[in-house]
Amino acid sequence: MVIYTVRNGDTLYGIARRYGVDPRILARDNELSDPSRLTVGQTLVILQPKTVYTVREGENLYGVAERFGIPIGELWRNNPFLGGRTDLRAGEVLTVVPEAPVFDREISVNAYVYPSADREVVRKTLPYLTYLTLFSYGLEEDGGLAELGEDEELIELARQYGAAPIMLLTSVGEDGRFSNALSERVLADDGARNMLVEEIATELSEKRYAGVEVDFEYVSGENAEAYASFVAALRDRLAPQGFSVAVSLAPKTSADQEGLLYEGHDYRALGEAADRAFLMTYEWGYTYGPPMAISPLNKVTEVVDFAAGEIPPEKTVLGVPNYGYDWRLPYRQGESRARSLGNVEAISLARAKRAAISYDEEAEAPYFRYFEREGGVPVEHEVWFEDAKSVRAMLGLVDSFGLMGIGVWNGMKYFPQLWQVLNHTYSIRKVMG
C-alpha cells in the first residue's frame, strides 16, 4: 500500500502509470467522484494486491469464494465497492489476496452508529468490524433503562456480517443531553443500580446483543468509586451469560486531572472492572472551540501513554474520528460554532473552492482554508479533517502501545480511505461466526 499526496500538475492517469495500476481501479478504490479533478494535498491510497480475479459471465461472489477457498467476508473487505452484495458483473476485477498487512497482528475494530444509519453505509462498513455499537440507550428519571428502539434490524444485520452487536448505555436523559444527575441517582442507590443491571441483562438477551458499553459522562469525583463498582457489578452479572462489558473513558493524561469530564473516570478501577476500555481520543477540535485537529497525534499520544500505565493495553481501544469541522474565521470564543462534515465532503469542498490542502506534521492532520462570500463580503473558513496519512498515523499507535484495537466515532458516513488503510495495516478480529 502506498499513500500518495497529490502535487501540482498531477493527474490520476499519470499517478496510475507511475505505480503501474489501472486508473479506473485507483479511482474506484478511493471512490473519487470526479477522477478528472484532483486537489493539491489530497491523499490517494494505491493498492498493489498479490492476486486479482476478473469476473466471468454468470459468476457470483459465493462461487469466487469457493474457487479460492476464502471466506466471503474477506472478499467484501478487500473489495468495498461491492457494498456487501454477492451478485457480480462480468469484467469486474476483484482483489482476492491483498498485499500483506503492515503489522503482523490482529486487532479488534468497533464503530458506533445510530439506528437511522444509512444501511448501504453500514453494509460497506460491517466487513471491517469486530463490533457494531448502537447509540444509545439512556436512563429514565427513576434510573431505569430507556430503550433505544428500532435497533433490531441493525442487530440482525451485524450478526449476518459476523460483527458482534453492542448496546451502548449512556447517561443521556429525555432531553438528549448527558446528565450527571441521572447517572449519580443510579450510582447512589443500590436498589436503582440492581434494577438497571437486571433490565440490561434482560434487554441483551431479548434483543440478541453480544454485550454492553457504558458511557456515563460528567460523573463527579466523589462518585468515581461507585461508578467503577457499577461497571464491575454489571460484568459480574453478565459474564456468566457470555456478554461482554466495555466502558468509555474521557481522554485523561493524569490520574488527578481536574474537570467534571475527567474526575469520575478512574482509569485503573474502570479498566479492571470492564472487558474493554474505549479511549475517547477526539474532540480537541470541536464545535465550540478554536480551529485545530480533531485528534492531534501529539495530544492523543499523551493520553495513550497515561492509559498504558493504568489499563492493560490488551484491553485498551483507541478512539479514531471519522469526521471534520469547518470553522468560520475569525474564531470568537462563546460565539463561533463549527460545522461538522465528513472527510469525503471535506475533499469535495476543497476541490470546489480550489483550496490546496496542507498537512500539520505535529498533529498529523490535514487542513485547508477557503473563502465564502456572505452578503458580498469574502469570509475566510478553516477546515480540519482526516485523510489516509492521518489515519495511518493513528493506527500506528495501536502497534506502538500494543493496544487491543480501535473504535471509530462514528460509522454514519463512509470514508473509503479509513477502511482501506485499516485493512492493509492489520488483520481484523472476528468474535462471531
Active site (catalytic) residues: 217
- Candidates 100, 10, 8, 87; CA nearest to 51 is 100
Task: For residue 152, report the phi and psi dihedrals to the nearest 5 degrees.
Answer: -60, -40
Axis-axis angle for helices 224-238, 190-207 (nearest 10): 40
Which residues are registered as beta bridge partners of 97?
51
Residue 174 has which C-alpha cell? 429525555
Phi, psi of 39 (to 5 degrees): -110, 130
> Which residues are registered as beta bridge partners of 382?
327, 369
Q: How far apart are CA 152 and CA 208, in angstroms?
A: 9
**Beta strand spans in 201-338 (E):** 211-215, 244-249, 276-279, 316-321, 324-328
Q: How far are the Cα atoms of 241, 279, 287, 332, 362 from residue 337, in angstroms, in the given order?
A: 45, 25, 5, 9, 25
Tell how strand 276-279 and strand 244-249 pair up.
parallel
Torsion of CA 14, 20, 22, 27, to 10 degrees: -60
CA pseudo-torsion sign 285, 118, 165, 31: negative
User: Prior bond to 136 cis, omega within 30?
Assistant: yes
- Give the length of the chain: 433
Buried b (16+ CB within 10 A) or exposed e, 115-146: eebeeebbbbbbbbbbbbbbbbbbbbeebebb
Pairwise CA distance, residues 256 & 219, whole Å: 14
Contact predicate 425/395, CB 8 Å: yes
